[in-house]
Amino acid sequence: MPEALGKAAAAARTVGPADSIDTTGTAVVRQPGLVMTDHFFDVPLDHRAPDGEHIRLYAREVVATRRERDELPWLVYLQGGPGCPAGRPVGRENWLDRALEDYRVLLLDQRGTGRSTPATRQTLPLRGTPAEQADYLAHFRADSIVRDCELIRARLTGGRPWTVLGQSFGGFCAVTYLSYAPEGLAEVLITGGLPSLDADADAVYRAAYPRMERKSLEHYARYPGDEAAARRIARHLADHEEVLPDGTLLTVPAFQQLGILLGTGDGSHRLHYLLEDAFVDTVAGPRLSDAFAEQVATVLSRADCPLYAILHEAIYAQDERATHWSADRVRGEYPQFERGIEPGGRFLFTGESVHPWMLRTHPALRPLRHTAELLAERRGWTPLYDPERLARNTVPVAAAIYHDDLFVDTEHSLRTARTIAGLRTWVTDEYEHDGVRAGGRAVLDRLLSLVRDEA
């Protein structure tokens, strides 16, 4: 990878907003406490072919008011996902407030997301056949994102190393960065995103389903009436077709996916309030209320981040084997998730998993069904991590590991932490997976103390 990075360095160029895909935005905007500048970059689709096709990336520079002319070190934020754009700040909120004390921050819309060249049901047909779309999307994993970062860094910092803050999948990208381009890194901060270096998708989901069960039972211990409410909704869905306002068919397995809320700090409470107002009496008998359906659609929709579903299992692929709808296959090893409406069964929510039936029930995914199937059967994925190089790491690294994280297995993270030389961990049950958001300044402040040997 370093050789490819070197060959491609000249291929990235900054593009002004007037030349961008979206020409309606302004180059510089101000909010209370913030100055934000738009940046656009052209980068190779395939970094092994720097003279070939290019795609566009968007990144938002954020600096504290009255510090925009200061010589500040850069921090690039890598969002979780995969396939999700960076957050859109409104003032100095959560972790950003702390970061702006020390850094000029870059919020990168990773390739295919946000204002970068989009990859959605509307745009991917421009690539051609499903096979051509799948070949295109094979370039959208962590290795390509790291190469993108290196090209951008050369343009923005003058070649100086920068700090990376990786949340969830962004942390996966940070470990890839440490593996293949550590020379670009001054510090690495990871929140809820230390991946297993060698577990395939099957191993990831075999660790995940027991966590999903635990999180469901913990929720019922907090809100004892919610299991009966969930079972009533599931029985209704088994007997009635319910279509959400966005066109999603709400099946029992789709309803179970509301368990994704249980991986966030306030998610159990949000799920409780959602369940308690599910039904309304109509002339046709009890039906799911419009308010309930609207909220469920918001949680389950993939319209704003289709790559989250299409590429999800590919982030675990590192060898010749296909992922072959791992989450769906592995679920069959846990029959308790199928017994929710049976007498004596416990209704269990699921979490972060992708299934082939979603390509039929979710309107944002239906046109991409054949593309997703080809990616699920794709072989020959390249390694994303280099354990030997990580064992020789010299970049200061600190990682927050959330106890019993719904999204990333704690034992996998701890094993990886022991592999990366010099990495300092903060294992906590004070926060869930979204701690860097929910914790305000506290999580980033703790990681900075660790990485600087101040704690």
Active site residues: 168, 405, 433
CA distances from 189 to 34, 175, 294, 321 (A): 22, 10, 36, 31
Within 181-240, where are the H helices?
A: 201-222, 226-239
Q: What is the rounded CA–CA span in Å between residue 153 and residue 74?
A: 9
Q: What is the rounded CA–CA span in Å between residue 330 and residue 334?
A: 7
Give CA 285 to chain center in angstroms: 40
- The string over 179-208, giving b where at least 16 C-beta atoms fall within 10 Å of a residue's C-beta and e elsewhere, is bbbbebbbbbbbbbbbbbbebbbbbbbbbb
Indicate the helix (H) or strand (E) that contains 426: strand 424-428
Indicate the helix (H) or strand (E) that contains 255: helix 252-256
CB count, 10 Å around CB of 374? 19
Q: What is the rounded CA–CA span in Å between residue 125 and residue 394?
A: 44
CA distances from 161 to 73, 156, 174, 261 (A): 9, 10, 14, 36
Nearest to 413 by CA among 204, 234, 165: 204
For helices 267-276 and 226-239, give the axis angle rounded to 10 degrees.
Answer: 60
CB count, 10 Å around CB of 334? 17
First vs last C-alpha separation in the chain: 34
